[in-house]
Amino acid sequence: MDPLRPLDPARLGDHIDRLYRAAVGLCGSHADAEDLVQETYVQVLRKPRLLRSDDDLGYLMRVLRNTFYSRYRSEARRPRSSPLEEHEEVIEGRAGAHPADAAEASEVLAAVAALPEPFREVVAAVDLAGLSYREAARALRTREGTIMSRLSRGRAQVADALGYTS
């Protein structure tokens, strides 16, 4: 069994970008995603945490997902009056990136946000946050086989939404 290890608050900042991507995929809104990520950190920082595995991001993803379901899901189900807006930070840090990339990223994130929940959370965890299948299974409280199956179906729906033709 892995030894116990306190979660180091100083290292939590390393995961903000990946959590934020997952949050936008879950919420379908940059404003809601910001609130969701902040609330996730507030909950995690509220007291010292002990982890057995070296999986800070997976733990954060688990808290983020639980917070989303308890606070934001009902709002996420409401029809949106406008599509996912473009975001000025999308191309930040990408040398030579074309502004069109930002619009493209918004389309991809909107496609994720439109997925049914079981597929959305898996795509957000694996493809947007970058968790492994195993980490995602722990974070989402399911089996690796379920993760792989939902991921495949979720990706297929994303491809269709983006206009993929064989």
Partner 1 sequence: MSEQADLDRERFAVAALRSVELRAPVRLRTRIEAERERARRPARRRRFGLGGALAGATAAAAVLVALLLPGGAGGPTVVEAAELATRPPTEPAPEPGRPKLLATSAFGLPYPDWAEKFGWEPSGRRVDELDGRRAVTVFYEKDGREIAYTIISGEALDPPEPSAAARREGTRLRYVTDDGRTIVTWKRNGLTCVLSGSGVPATKLLDLAGWKGLGAVPF
Interface positions, 80-119, toward partner 1 (CB under 8 A)? 87-94, 97, 101, 104-105, 108-109, 112
Q: Is residue 133 close enough to count as binding partner 1 by CB under 8 A?
A: no
Q: Is residue 144 close enough to count as binding partner 1 by CB under 8 A?
A: no
How many residues make contact with partner 1 (CB under 8 A)?
Answer: 59
| Minimum separation from the CB atom of position 80 to partner 1 (A) | 18
Residue of 128, 131, 139, 140 that binds partner 1 (CB under 8 A):
128
Residue 79 or 163: which CB sits closer to partner 1? 163
As a dihedral over the C-alpha atoms of residue 124, residue 130, residue 136, residue 138, rounded to 10 degrees, the angle is -130
